[in-house]
Structures are given as C-alpha cells and as structure tokens.
Amino acid sequence: MNFDSKKLVGYGTGITMLGTIEAFPLDFNYFIDDNEGVVGQQIMERPIYPSSKLLEEKPNAVFIVVFASNYKSTLKIFEKLIQLDLRKGEDFIDCFELQYLTIAEKLEREMSISSDYKLLNTIKTATGNAPVPNLSTPTGTWLYSHLLRQALREIDGDIAECGVYFGGNALITHQSLPEVSERRYHLFDSFEGFENISANDPKSRGGDFQDNDFEFVKSLFKSFPNVVFHKGYFNETFEEMQPRDYALVYIDCDLYEPTIECLDYFGEKVLPGGMILIHDYWFPNIERPKGSKSHFEGIQKAVKEYTEHRNDFDILVFPETTHCLLIKK
C-alpha cells in the first residue's frame, strides 16, 4: 500500500475508524461520512464531508480507507466509489486489510498463532452473502476463528456464545471452519433483545435487537446438530444448565450486567488455556462529533471489576475490533 503522494481520506468516523487507527496510526487529510448528523463537524481536528466531496478531487489524488463495521455497508460504499471511477486496491481499500496486519502481528507475538489471510477473505465473502447480519465484523469473526481453531486443537470442553442475535458470527464460523461442527456449541440469547438497561449502559440503545426471529435463526443451523440453543435471559438459562467445561466462550451482549453474569458463570468453567473473548470492550477517549452512535461503555467496567481481584487470566485488547481476550492461566 503506497499512498504517500495522495490525500489520505477516511470513509467513516465511528468506532471502527477510531479502533483501527489506535492500532495502526494514520494521519487523514479529511473524512467522509454518510451520516448527515456528523457532516460539517470535525473529528481529531479534521473536517467531515459528505461523499459528494470526492467529486471535487482530480484523478489519482486520493487514497480512501473505508471504515464500515458492517461488510454489507462496505460493499455498498465500494459500489459508490467504483461509480466515481475509483479503483479497488489502487484508490481505496476496506479497513479490514489494515486490521489484519495489526491483529496478525499481535496473535503471533502474544499467542504464537500464525494468521491465515485466506480465511479473512473466506469470512468476508461469507459475511457479504450471509442471509443475516454479522455484528461481530469480518475481522472480529476472523480473530474469533483463530481462537476457535486453537481451542479445538488444544483444549477439551464446549464452545459457547452469549449474545447471538441472528447468529451471524456463529453461522459464518461454522461455514468457514468445518472442524467446528465436531464440538458441542451453545448459543445463549433471549432472541428478543435486552431485558434491562442499567445506569452503566447507553439508554439510547434500549430497544436494540427486538426484531429477532428465533424460528428463523434455528432454521439456519439445521445442518449443524452440534449447535444447542438456550433461549431466554442469561440469569434463567444458566440456571438450567448441567455443569460443563468450556474451551472458548464468546460474550457479545453489549450490556454491563449481562456481561458480569456471563463472566461469573463461565469464568470458573473455562479450562486452563481456554479463552473468553468479549466484544465492545474498547472505546475511544476522544471528543466525538455530536450525533455519533453511543458506545456500550459498561463492558469495560464489567471486565475490569471481574478481573481486578483475580490473577488467573491474562488479558489482551484488540482495539481494531473492540474485543478483549481473557486467557485462563
């Protein structure tokens, strides 16, 4: 990637951009955003324009990094850029290419895991074609897939996901890693959205995820008999579980109290070398444009409270995808 002679433009000003540049610092000339509420403001002292700003640019003048967390939105932005005669790879890329570099380096350095670039492309394609959203993002699912592979190879015990929504992350990992279907895989969710929003969570997000359809989600996993559904709020479904050991647990439930419930329940059940991956842990400490989406800041509080008085977990943070990984010693 050589964009030395071009103006560097960030397409997107949300947490995906901020997390990516936390790990891979870049100095942008300006930003584009399709959210009209933030256009006309600044972020990190750089102006935010609508995409029509690109019509003013001469050929070969810009290099654009697209920061959409949702890969279907990324593909729509790509179409728009191609209509402006911009070329993929030469004039624009998606942020997952940058996230790959920093996450691959961290996986190798901290966990001796060799990363698989081909798998990122498989996951991107699966995300683009999936009948449901994957809110974990392609790189998040790719990171999770490396942990899954390691867990399946080295650790006994089940896999669990807490916070499934339409099952995007679970479905794509089952489609991309055939070996996953050989392990019991639990999916925990109300499949009706949140129970309560506490004072530690953003009130504006209280109605999220109520548009679920449990029968449809179940139908997506018909060909994976290893998948076991646990419908209900965590405080009910965990009580009904038989004691089991776990190799890997993924927590993506957005809220403070449910995250504490998951950590309290699974923390003791994860085997040594086993892992707990938690989404939405990282968030930026900068002033953001008015009209930006609120972050789920309760997750970091929950994880810090859970880990501060114990020393049986190593912690790794991946700002690129906002994940935090707890590795049982």
Ligand X SMILES: C[S@@+](CC[C@H](N)C(=O)[O-])C[C@H]1O[C@@H](n2cnc3c(N)ncnc32)[C@H](O)[C@@H]1O
C-alpha to C-alpha distances, 229 to 72, 100, 139, 160, nearest whole angstrom: 27, 31, 25, 10
What is the rounded distance in angstroms from the CA atom of residue 43 to the CA atom of residue 229?
42
**Burial group, residue 183, by CB count within 10 angstroms (0-12, 13-18, 19+):** middle
Q: Which is nearer to ligand X, 3 or 214 (CB)?
A: 214
Q: Which is nearer to ligand X, 16 or 86 (CB)?
A: 16
Least distance to ligand X, CB of residue 193, Å? 5
C-alpha to C-alpha distances, 255 to 4, 208, 275, 300, 301, nearest whole angstrom: 41, 11, 20, 10, 10
Least distance to ligand X, CB of residue 300, Å? 16
Least distance to ligand X, CB of residue 228, Å? 15
Q: Which is nearer to ligand X, 91 or 320 (CB)?
A: 320
Q: Which is nearer to ligand X, 28 or 96 (CB)?
A: 96
What is the rounded distance in angstroms from the CA atom of residue 170 to the CA atom of residue 250?
10
Q: Which is nearer to ligand X, 50 or 207 (CB)?
A: 207
Classify strands 62-66 and 92-94 as parallel, antiparallel or unpaired.
parallel
Least distance to ligand X, CB of residue 211, Å? 10
Least distance to ligand X, CB of residue 133, Å? 6
Binding site for ligand X (CB under 6 A): 133-136, 163-165, 168-169, 189-190, 193-195, 209, 233-234, 252-255, 258
Nearest Cα neighbor of 17 from 282, 326, 324, 300 is 282
Residue type, 43: I
Least distance to ligand X, CB of residue 159, Å? 13
Q: Which is nearer to ligand X, 10 or 14 (CB)?
A: 14
